[in-house]
Structure 1
Amino acid sequence: MDAQVLVVGAGLAGASTAWRLAQRGRTVVLVERDVPASAQGSSHGSARILRHAYPERLYVDLVGAAETAWTELSALHGADLVTRCGALDFGARRDPHGLAAVLADAGVEHELLAREDARDRWPGIAFDSDVLWHRAGGVLDAGSTVRAMVAAARAHGAQVLQGWALSRLERTGAGFTAHAADGRTVSAGRVVVCAGPWLPDLLGELPLPAGFLAALPTLTVTEENAFHFPHREPRTPWPTLIHHREDICLYALPGGRDAQFRGQKVAEFAAGRRLRSAATRTGRVDAANRERVVEHVRRFLPGLEPEPYAETTCLFTNTPTEDFVVDEADGVTVVSPCSGHGAKFAPLLGELAADAALRTGSVPGRFRVGSSRA
C-alpha cells in the first residue's frame, strides 16, 4: 500500500492530521495500533476542558484559531462537539488578574470577580482568591471528536488501518517503508508520527537525524488519576474550573457520559506516577492521590459529595515546559501536542502538523525542536 503521507496514531492529533492532509488533496494512510480514540492512548472519553485562559498570548491566540476549526468540524459532524458551560480560574498561584490581562489584550470576553461575589454566583464552590470567569469555556467530547475527524479524513479519501502497530520505520529511496508488528508494510513519501504516550518507545525506531533527537525535549509519560464526584443538587449547572493553590493544582469539569452525567470529573494536574511509555501503564489508582483530591473536594467544592463514585487513570505525555512539539526533519514529522492541555486545539493540530510535514505555513517557533541537527 502506497501513500503520499503516512500518519501514525489515530488519537486527537493523528486524526486531525489525517483529515487536514487529505483535505489538502494528499493521499493519506492513517494507522492505529488499536482503534481510533483508543483507551490505550490519551484521546478517549467525553470530558476535556476547552478554555481560553493562558498566561501567554501565543496559546490564547491558538485557542481563538481553534474555535473556528471547532465550528467547521462540528458542522461536518452534524452536532456540537463542545458544550459551553463557562470556565473559572482561581487560587493564589493561578493568578486570575494576570490571566485577565492576557485575555483583555487578546479581546476575549471575561470577568474578574471578588471571591464573595463569585461564591454568590456559584455557591457550590469555596473560593480562596479573586476569580476569573470566561463564558466561552466549556467541555469537549474527545472520543466523538476523533471519530468525527476520522470520518472527515475518509470523506477526502484517506484510508484507515486499525490494529496496525508501528514497530519500525525504514528509509527507502526517496521515501519510507513502515513496518507493523505483524509484518504488514506501508510505503509513503512522508511520515507524521502522532503516537502520544507510545512515542518514547518509537523514537529509537524512527530514522531521525541525531541532532534532531538530541534537541528534542524530554518526553515524560505519567499515569494520572481522575475521580468523579456526584452533585449534591443534580440539576445545578457547573462550569469547568482550575484551582491552583500553593501546594496543589486541581481541575474539575462536568463528566459527561464518562460519569453518566451525574457529577464532576476532578483531578490533580500532572501528579501521576512516571512511566517509560504507555506500554507500562498499570491502571491502578494512586490511593494517596485519591486522598488529596477527596480532601480538596471536601474543603473547596461543597456542592459535591466528597466520595467518588467512579475513578480511572489516564496518560499524559509531558515536555519540561508544557509546550508542544510539532516539527519535521528529513521527511519525518514528530507531533506531540501534550502536557495535559492539547485537546482543546484538536481540529487545529492537523493544520499545524500538515504545515510542518509539507513545509508550508508557519508553525510557532516554540513548537520547533531547534536548529541543532546533524
Structure 2
Amino acid sequence: MSHHIVIGAGLAGAATAYALTARGEDVTVLERHTPANDRGSSHGSARIFRYAYPDRLYTELVVRSRDLWSAVEAAAGTELISVTGAIDHGDVRHTAELAEIFDAVGVDHEVLDPAQASERWPQFAFDTEVLFHPDAGVIDAETTVNTLLDLARATGHARVLTDWTVAEVTRRSAGGFRATSATGESVEAESVIVAAGGWLPALLGALGLPEGFLSALPRFEVRQEQAFHMPYRDADESGLPRTRWPTFIHKSSEIFTYGLPGGRDAGFAGQKLAQFNGGRVIDSALDQDGQITEEMRTRMIDYAKRHLPGLVPEPYAETTCLFTNTPNEDFVIDEVDGLVIVSACSGHGAKFAPLLGEFAADLATGAGGVPERFRVGAR
C-alpha cells in the first residue's frame, strides 16, 4: 500500500481519490479552498454529459466513462446524471460526421431535418439538420465531487485537507515527495497527482518537474467563461418547464454556443447557456474576478432572441467558471518520475471524471497507461 497526494478537489481530483482508495491505496487530498468551490471548474449543479464528438476516441471514452458513472451512482445510491437527451446543430457542427461515429461506436441517435426538429422541439429555431442522441444528460458537478470524496473517505483510506494552498512540491532524499503549504505545513507521499485545473499554470514552477517535461507541455490558456440562466416561457407556477428541454450544442459560422437545463443552484427554472470559449483569457485562476461583462450579456440575450424562442431572453442568474485549454483541446494526462499531471480538460472534462480518476490511478500505481495522445511526449 502506498500513500498518494492529490492536489485539487474538483471533479478530476475527487475521482482520482476515489479510484485510488478503491484499490486500497492511501490518499491525502489537498484543496486550497473547499471541494467544488466556485473559484474552479467543478462548482454548481449543471454540466453537460454527451457522446457527440467529431473524434471517435473521445466518443469511445465517453462510453467507457458512462459505465464508471453508473458504478459510482450504484455505490452511492445517488443519481449524478439526469438524462435529458442532446441535440447538435449548426452549419459547422458536421452532424453527418458525428452520426457516422455514433454508427461505428454503437451510440443510439437519429438525424432530423429542420422541419422535423422544429416540430419536436419548438422551443428552438433550426436552420440545419439536427442530430439527437437520447442518452445524454446533465451532470450535477458539485454533488459528484462530494459523493466521490465521501466514497473515498468511507474506505478509511482518504483524508481531505481544505484551505491548504500548495506552495511547493519537493523530492525527498529517501524517495517520494513532500508538499509544503503556504503556511509551512507539509504532507509526504510516494506519489503526487496534480489535478489543479485553472490553478495549474501558476503551480507548474513549484512542482519540481524535469525541464524537458516542462518544456514539452502545451501552452495552457485559462478562460473565465460566462454563463447565463434564462427562464422558460412555458414555465409552471414553480418555474419548471412544461416542455422537456435537451442539452444542445450549436456550432455555426457565426457563433459556437452550448446550453443545458439549469440545475439545483439556479432553481431548475431556466436553460443555462454560454458561448464556448467566449470568456476573457487570464494567466491563471489567481487572476479571475468573477465579473460578467455587459458585452457578453447582450450577446447571449440577442442569441436567445434569435435561436431560442422557448426562453424569456432575460437572465435571472449568471455565473462564471474556468476553462483551461490546450491548443488542440486534447487532455494532458501523463506521469514523470512519480508525479502525475491530470489537466487541462479544455472545458469538456466533466463527463470523463471517473475515467480520468482511473487513468490517474493507473499512472500513479503503475497499473496501466493512458491514450498516447494525452501524454506530453506525444505533442
| Bin of the TM-score, shorter chain as denominator length | over 0.9
Partner of 2:168: 168
TM-score (norm 2): 0.96
- 1:45-92 deviations in whole A, cap 9, x for unaligned? 000000001011100011001111111111122121000010000001
What amino acid is the match of 1:240? Answer: T
Counterpart contact for 2:220–2:344, Cα < 8 Å: no
- 1:336-355 deviations in whole A, cap 9, x for unaligned? 14111000011111001111
Partner of 1:223: 224
Give me the whole-angstrom Cα distance separating, in 2, the residues matched to 1:287 and 1:267.
14
Name the CA shift for 1:292/1:169 in 2 (closer, same or farther; >3 Å). Answer: same
Partner of 1:238: 245
| 1:307 lines up with 2:308 in the alignment | no
What amino acid is the match of 1:49? Answer: I
Partner of 1:67: 66
Tell me whether 72-81 or 236-245 shows the greater mean CA deviation. Answer: 72-81
Equivalences for 1:187-226 in 2 at 5 Å? 187-226=188-227
Q: 2:353 aligns with which of 346, 350, 360?
A: 346
Partner of 1:100: 99
Partner of 1:365: 372
- 1:116-137 deviations in whole A, cap 9, x for unaligned? 0000000010011000000001
Partner of 1:80: 79
SS at match of 1:350: helix
Counterpart contact for 1:3–1:187, Cα < 8 Å: no
SS at match of 2:61: helix
What amino acid is the match of 1:323? Answer: D
CA RMSD of aligned residues (A): 1.2
Give me the whole-angstrom Cα distance separating, in 2, the residues matched to 1:269 and 1:371.
26
Counterpart contact for 1:225–1:285, Cα < 8 Å: yes
Deviation at 1:252, TM superposition (A): 0.7
Give me the whole-angstrom Cα distance separating, in 2, the residues matched to 1:300 and 1:354.
43
Deviation at 1:103, TM superposition (A): 0.6
Give me the whole-angstrom Cα distance separating, in 2, the residues matched to 1:204 and 1:247.
38
Counterpart contact for 1:87–1:133, Cα < 8 Å: yes
| 1:298 lines up with 2:334 in the alignment | no
Give me the whole-angstrom Cα distance separating, in 1, the residues matched to 2:244 and 2:297.
25
Give me the whole-angstrom Cα distance separating, in 1, the residues matched to 2:212 and 2:363.
18
Deviation at 1:35, TM superposition (A): 1.0
Partner of 2:238: none
Give me the whole-angstrom Cα distance separating, in 2, the residues matched to 1:200 and 1:337.
10
Deviation at 1:362, TM superposition (A): 2.5
Give me the whole-angstrom Cα distance separating, in 2, the residues matched to 1:231 and 1:149.
32
Partner of 1:318: 325
Tell me whether 363-372 or 173-182 shows the greater mean CA deviation. Answer: 363-372
Counterpart contact for 2:372–2:378, Cα < 8 Å: no
Unaligned runs of 5+ residues in structure 1 are none
Counterpart contact for 1:103–1:109, Cα < 8 Å: yes
Partner of 1:142: 141
SS at match of 2:291: coil
- 1:216-266 deviations in whole A, cap 9, x for unaligned? 111111101000000000221100000011021000100011221111001
Give me the whole-angstrom Cα distance separating, in 1, the residues matched to 2:129 and 2:45.
30
Partner of 2:88: 89
Counterpart contact for 2:82–2:139, Cα < 8 Å: yes
Give me the whole-angstrom Cα distance separating, in 2, the residues matched to 1:291 and 1:301.
15
Tell me whether 55-64 or 332-341 shows the greater mean CA deviation. Answer: 332-341
Q: 1:330 aligns with which of 333, 337, 358?
A: 337
Deviation at 1:282, TM superposition (A): 1.0
Q: Percent identity?
A: 52
Deviation at 1:275, TM superposition (A): 0.6
Deviation at 1:179, TM superposition (A): 0.3
Deviation at 1:3, TM superposition (A): 6.3
TM-score (norm 1): 0.97
What amino acid is the match of 1:19? Answer: Y
Partner of 1:258: 265
| 1:287 lines up with 2:280 in the alignment | no
Deviation at 1:359, TM superposition (A): 2.5
Tell me whether 2-11 or 292-301 shows the greater mean CA deviation. Answer: 2-11
Q: 1:278 aligns with which of 266, 277, 285?
A: 285
What amino acid is the match of 1:238? Answer: W
Deviation at 1:361, TM superposition (A): 1.6
Give me the whole-angstrom Cα distance separating, in 2, the residues matched to 1:231 and 1:40.
28
Partner of 1:122: 121
Give me the whole-angstrom Cα distance separating, in 2, the residues matched to 1:312 and 1:12.
18
Counterpart contact for 2:326–2:344, Cα < 8 Å: no
Tell me whether 141-150 or 250-259 shows the greater mean CA deviation. Answer: 250-259
Tell me whether 82-91 or 310-319 shows the greater mean CA deviation. Answer: 310-319
